[in-house]
Amino acid sequence: MLARRFQPMVLMVTHEIATMQYRLGFAPSIPQWTEYLKRTAAAVKEASPNTLVGVGFVPGTFALDLEYARKLATLPEMDLISVDIYDLRGFDRTDAVVRMAKAAGKRVFIEETWRAVYWPPEMETTLKGAEGLWDGGGVALEKYQPIDALWMEMVAVYAAAWGMDAVVPFWTQTLFKYLPTDDWHAGLVYSKLYNAAIEKALVNGERTKTFYACKKLIQELGKTRAQLA
């Protein structure tokens, strides 16, 4: 239905295979994933023949995704392979996934990336049982803006070295606003204070140093439309 309605250029039919067990409530086997990817790709192509279909992994954080990638990244039905990068560990596994995808003639991009989030002990205690909020810890804090810019530079250079198609920063709110505070409650990307500030920044046409750092990277390392065709 989505493919028919929007005719997208790209549709990732599943994302971060290793984390899907937490979303689904069970861990599908590799044969089950294989059948799902093949059937879904066929359905998408029937509804939107020009759409590129892909599957994503996060091997740097979850070693299990390297095992999944060995079986799923080379499926003929997959046009695109994505990797997510959220920490500095496990680059050998990320390299391995990118290498096997490239060897299979797949296009590769970084579907999600951001620097490691800020988790003070108090936040872990307060949000116990609500771990889904932790991934937004400290995102809004202005003191991390220089690190965010350096992280995006590192990831962009990494992607360029591999000849990847694209890099997608995850917390794009930071392109428009940070908060000059050390209060982790406000620093949560989901906080009412931060989102109210984002709304005002968008209306006022504000941009952050992170925005300009990313713009510079696009100008220096970005691919043209012809190169991505």
- Co-location of 129 and 213 in the same domain: yes
Give a yes or no: residue 162 inside a domain: no
- Co-location of 194 and 96 in the same domain: no
- Co-location of 59 and 141 in the same domain: no
Give a yes or no: residue 155 inside a domain: no
- Co-location of 2 and 76 in the same domain: yes
Domain boundary among 68, 87, 113: 113
What pLDDT score was predicted for residue 129? Answer: 66
Looking at the structure of the chain, the number of domains it has is 2
Range of the domain at 216: 118-148+171-224
Give a yes or no: residue 165 inside a domain: no
- Co-location of 191 and 103 in the same domain: no
Give a yes or no: residue 199 inside a domain: yes
What pLDDT score was predicted for residue 222? Answer: 86
b/e code 56-92 from CB counts within 10 Å (16+ = b): bbbbbbbebbbebbeebbebebbbbbbbbbbeeebee
Give a yes or no: residue 141 inside a domain: yes
CA-CA distances (angstroms) from residue 203 to 13, 72, 96, 181, 207?
A: 34, 44, 43, 22, 11
- Co-location of 100 and 134 in the same domain: no
Cα(183)–Cα(185) distance, integer angstroms? 5
- Co-location of 183 and 104 in the same domain: no
- Co-location of 40 and 101 in the same domain: yes
- Co-location of 36 and 137 in the same domain: no
- Co-location of 140 and 85 in the same domain: no
Cα(79)–Cα(113) distance, integer angstroms? 21
Mean pLDDT by 10 residues, the chain (229 residues): 95 93 90 97 97 96 94 96 94 97 96 88 76 79 95 96 94 96 89 95 97 94 77
- Co-location of 50 and 131 in the same domain: no
Give a yes or no: residue 229 inside a domain: no
CA-CA distances (angstroms) from residue 167 to 100, 112, 164, 218, 220?
A: 19, 7, 8, 10, 13
Cα(52)–Cα(10) distance, integer angstroms? 5
What pTM value is reported for the model? Answer: 0.90
What pLDDT score was predicted for residue 131? Answer: 61
- Co-location of 142 and 61 in the same domain: no
What pLDDT score was predicted for residue 16? Answer: 93
